[in-house]
Structure 1
């Protein structure tokens, strides 16, 4: 098990920008498993709306424990992610919260767990989940603090991925807008040549056709341009 210094060193080397989210989260779960005191298997639960999924995991025990919670719609990792609170189970054999879950999770080897919420823009988006086959594996303050630092790294990775996705969507929208403008200009040219009108009158013809047939102006323009190409 690594020291606090090992954890800081590993997190400082973690590259989050310009990287696929699942790849970054896979590395984060490995860092957590190797450096959070008591950790044996780790996972990251992301909650979008009412849907919770395991975005990454290190070790099969964590994935099995997560899925037991998703089946029931509740459990420490889901409750930590939704409520933004740290939830710790010291012994699944004596835990009285989530009775159906703890009765099943013992069967996959979990004796203790720590679920740390993922902070994101004044809310939470899920939880970092850490599991052990030993009871009270995360009773020390060191485990909680180490998990908190890893959770912050996860939140940064998700924020970077969301920002990249938004930039990508903006770029796609800009490209579509440019394509629409180009085809509309082509259609105007066709109408100007066929109807012997100026650019403003040609655009008005397009607009009127769009309203008359209840179709997007871009679609009307595309049809006009296509009709001239068909005649060639």
Structure 2
């Protein structure tokens, strides 16, 4: 059972120590690939495939072998990593020599130095799916480790979901801060216009909007220019 594997606990600790406020998605993906390589017996190289819409690409890899075999699949639109990503299932290739589902790709893999592989689907977010791809130099390298790899992939998916959530939250917070700053400077500009024109807040905003439209500048830029002139006594 995967829970009994001596390296699994260490792998989960490594994933759990990721500090999302200090790293980006690329670092998390690279960490996942390296942790998988270090944890799953018989692994030669590992990659992580991401699929968004009709576009698939390798977002992280531990060696050129994995990248080469991934890219062949993207170019031809078929292969275990693509099937794993789109179905969410585990795609085991015990022996490239007798593989019949993707014979052309298996032939390429044998020449490149891979004798077996295992790809496991990674649900990441609504608009993006992926796969953890593990390549072995010997036939049957992963026959007894599918469950271990699936357990690790499950925790990897959680790590990816967490970094996506953190980045989304950070982006939203930044957008809210920018919106508040824009609102503040617009209110300042309105106050200046109201004092100069002896008009209402609605009339002051209409003046700002008209200048914005006529000058083809954003409303915030117009407001910032007006506030700057009022504070520094400058002119456009």
Taking structure 2 as the reference length, the TM-score comes to 0.83
Q: Is the 8 A contact 2:91 2:118 kept in 1?
A: yes
Q: Which whole-Å CA distance do the structure 2 matches of 1:84 and 1:131 have between them?
A: 18
Distance 1:186 1:13, change over 3 A: same
Deviation at 1:80, TM superposition (A): 0.5
Matches within 5 A, 1:62-211: 62-120=66-124, 125-140=129-144, 143-207=145-209
Deviation at 1:97, TM superposition (A): 1.6
Distance 1:148 1:221, change over 3 A: same
Q: Is the 8 A contact 2:28 2:160 kept in 1?
A: no
Q: Which whole-Å CA distance do the structure 2 matches of 1:98 and 1:32 have between them?
A: 24
Are residue 25 (structure 1) and residue 29 (structure 2) matched?
yes
Deviation at 1:221, TM superposition (A): 2.6
Structure 2: segments with no counterpart, 5+ residues = none
Q: Which whole-Å CA distance do the structure 2 matches of 1:124 and 1:206 have between them?
A: 41
- Helix, strand or coil for the counterpart of 1:40? strand
Q: Which whole-Å CA distance do the structure 2 matches of 1:123 and 1:88 have between them?
A: 25
Q: Which whole-Å CA distance do the structure 2 matches of 1:124 and 1:226 have between them?
A: 44
Q: Which whole-Å CA distance do the structure 2 matches of 1:28 and 1:37 have between them?
A: 15
Aligned residues: 229
Q: Is the 8 A contact 1:42 1:59 kept in 2?
A: yes
Deviation at 1:103, TM superposition (A): 2.3
Residue 34 of structure 1 aligns with which residue? 38
- RMSD (CA atoms): 2.8
Q: Is the 8 A contact 1:39 1:130 kept in 2?
A: yes
Q: More deviation in 159-168 or 54-63?
A: 54-63
- Helix, strand or coil for the counterpart of 2:195? helix
Q: Which whole-Å CA distance do the structure 1 matches of 2:194 and 2:39 have between them?
A: 71
Structure 1: segments with no counterpart, 5+ residues = none
Deviation at 1:198, TM superposition (A): 4.0
